[in-house]
């Protein structure tokens, strides 16, 4: 049994803390937000949309295996392993904002003891662990990284809504600032995680040690940046398909029928805490990566392109009510981080339309608090599906009398249900 500290009880950190506690370890969860700490201490997740979390959290809190605190230094002082999962965001110009991670690092340093393992799971620009956080930990603790305490980077590789399943399904990458740190980190993660058999992998599923912290940092940014670039290519293909009258969905299905093509599908926005952010973290160290930069710019332009398609089908949008379905960045998830809804609303307003946003996971007052114009039941002439919530699959024209055009930005609706309404999809060839 280990004493573990998890710093940051957000969408990723809290399930991690619960996972560690479920393996029989004693976990102190630290977070700077008192309301989060109070909810966790009461055995209630701040968000109710993570599979298995509510039941598992209640169990480990009731058993005394997980406690929560705002005193990060004290929690770190009592731990033999510290896992830091505080989000790293970017400024509007793309540079990373290290303020929250710096504060968490300084608090950990204040309680850091010899022989402790410190693991960062927050995606970082390559070289950040060694060049920034090792130095801050040393300055705040008086200890030397690699000699007095282990230091590794082990990126989270999970998706909100299915975190516990992903923890079992994907190999856990671990790279340290030296060989001893890597070994210590690998041994720790073997003791807190379980893994599903994966006959499709070249190596057995489990903890995968990498040669260095930099390799682990690079691996995380590479796997997410790949997806952003792939989606950008699909979105570029969608524009061409619309010009030449070809259904891109059929083209992608045909291409992916052989093993060397893995084309993603186009979509109205690329949102969330990962895909829009990680390419920027990569570009921070490799500013001449033109492919990555062009892909990010291409994806950011899709909401505006979608509004142009709407104008082409409906005519000038001045004064037209447009219902926007979905505030979340993706279906089934109650999260608006980097959601395309914000750019979409801005583009609709720029075209003179009057957008109204609704989402089955948000109350109208919650949308208003996010700066979004909540649906007030006013008549609308068009609809735009921004998030692929499963509820939208069953919608049809009978649910929205008076709507003339549907722009399905996620290809989630059934065309047969929209008789009498012009239905547009990205890359649908104008259909």
The catalytic residue positions are: 220, 274
Rounded CA-CA distance 166/170 in Å is 6
For residue 339, give the nearest of 275, 391, 279, 270 by alpha carbon: 270
DSSP state, residue 129: I
Does an H or E element contain 161, and which? Answer: none
**C-alpha neighbours within 13 Å on the C-beta side of residue 156:** 29
Rounded CA-CA distance 387/270 in Å is 10
| Integer angstrom CA distances of residue 363 from 208, 324, 332, 369 | 43, 14, 15, 10
The answer to whether 215 touches 185, Cβ cutoff 8 Å, is no
Rounded CA-CA distance 324/311 in Å is 15
Rounded CA-CA distance 203/348 in Å is 49
Rounded CA-CA distance 231/246 in Å is 18
The answer to whether 2 touches 80, Cβ cutoff 8 Å, is yes
Q: At what angle do helices 278-285 and 213-244 cross, to 10 degrees?
A: 120
Which residues share a beta bridge with 408?
385, 425
For residue 266, give the nearest of 303, 294, 218, 293 by alpha carbon: 303
Structure token digits, residue 102: 């710096």
Structure token digits, residue 273: 């805490």
The answer to whether 119 touches 83, Cβ cutoff 8 Å, is yes
Q: At what angle do helices 34-41 and 53-62 cross, to 10 degrees?
A: 80
Which residues share a beta bridge with 97?
89
- Burial of 244 per CB tally in 10 Å (0-12, 13-18, 19+): exposed
Structure token digits, residue 251: 């083209």
> C-alpha dihedral over 41, 47, 50, 51, to 10 degrees?
70
């Amino acid at each position: 049994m280990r004493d573990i500290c998890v710093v940051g009880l957000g969408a990723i950190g809290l399930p991690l803390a619960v996972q560690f506690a479920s393996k029989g370890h004693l976990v102190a969860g630290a977070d700077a937000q008192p309301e989060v700490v109070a909810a966790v201490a009461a055995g209630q997740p701040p968000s109710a949309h993570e599979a298995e979390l509510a039941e598992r959290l209640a169990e480990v809190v009731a058993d005394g295996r997980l406690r929560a605190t705002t005193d990060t230094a004290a929690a770190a002082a009592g731990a033999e392993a510290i896992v830091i999962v505080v989000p790293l965001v970017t400024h509007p110009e793309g540079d990373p904002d290290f303020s929250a991670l710096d504060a968490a690092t300084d608090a950990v340093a204040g309680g850091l003891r010899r022989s402790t393992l410190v693991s960062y799971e927050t995606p970082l620009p390559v070289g950040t662990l060694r060049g920034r956080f090792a130095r801050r930990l040393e300055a705040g603790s008086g200890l030397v990284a690699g000699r007095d305490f282990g230091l590794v980077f082990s990126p989270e590789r999970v998706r909100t809504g299915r975190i516990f399943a992903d923890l079992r399904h994907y190999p856990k990458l671990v790279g340290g600032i030296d060989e001893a740190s890597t070994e210590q980190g690998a041994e720790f993660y073997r003791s807190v995680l379980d893994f599903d058999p994966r006959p499709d992998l070249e190596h057995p599923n489990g903890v995968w040690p990498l040669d260095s912290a930099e390799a682990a940092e690079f691996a995380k940014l590479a796997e997410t940046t790949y997806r952003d670039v792939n989606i950008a290519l699909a979105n570029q293909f969608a524009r061409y398909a619309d010009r030449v009258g070809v259904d891109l969905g059929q083209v992608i299905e045909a291409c992916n029928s052989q093993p060397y093509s893995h084309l993603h599908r186009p979509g109205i926005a690329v949102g969330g805490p990962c895909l829009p952010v990680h390419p920027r973290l990569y570009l921070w160290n490799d500013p001449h990566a033109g492919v990555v930069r062009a892909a990010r710019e291409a994806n950011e332009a899709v909401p505006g392109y979608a509004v142009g398609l709407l104008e082409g089908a409906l005519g000038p949008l001045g004064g037209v009510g447009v219902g926007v379905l979905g505030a979340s960045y993706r279906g089934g998830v109650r999260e608006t981080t980097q959601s395309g809804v914000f750019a979409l609303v801005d583009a609709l307003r720029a075209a003179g339309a009057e957008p109204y946003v609704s989402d089955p996971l948000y109350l109208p007052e919650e949308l208003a608090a996010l700066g979004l114009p909540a649906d007030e039941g006013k008549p609308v002439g068009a609809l735009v599906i921004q998030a692929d919530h499963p509820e939208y699959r069953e919608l049809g024209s009978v649910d929205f009398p008076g709507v003339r055009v549907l722009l399905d930005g996620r290809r989630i609706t059934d065309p047969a249900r929209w008789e009498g309404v012009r239905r547009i999809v990205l890359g649908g060839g104008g259909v």
